[in-house]
Amino acid sequence: MKIFHAEPGTPEDDELGVLHLLIKNDDDKTVKMRKVALLEVNEEKIRDRN
């Protein structure tokens, strides 16, 4: 995948920048994850087992 090794200032670098913006924009709209502490996750898993 040559695009990931694009030299700065080349058309491939521009394409990579646009691709990055499109992916980030989509993630910002669709991926909503709440931030949790690892301890909270472990406690929830333990409760689920019981």
Instruction: Kindly report the pTM of this predicted structure.
Output: 0.53
Whether the CA torsion 24, 29, 35, 38 is positive or negative: it is negative
More confident: 4 or 11: 11
Report the number of distinct structural domains present in the chain: 1
pLDDT at 8 over 80: yes
Reported as a single tens digit per residue, the pLDDT across 24-50 is: 998 888 877 777 788 888 898 899 987
Listed residue (2, 30, 28) closest to 16, CA to CA: 2
Q: What is the pLDDT of residue 32?
A: 74
| Residues of the domain holding 41 | 2-49
Residue 10 DSSP symbol: S
Task: Report which DSSP code applies to 9.
Answer: T
Confidence check: pLDDT of 23 > 90: yes
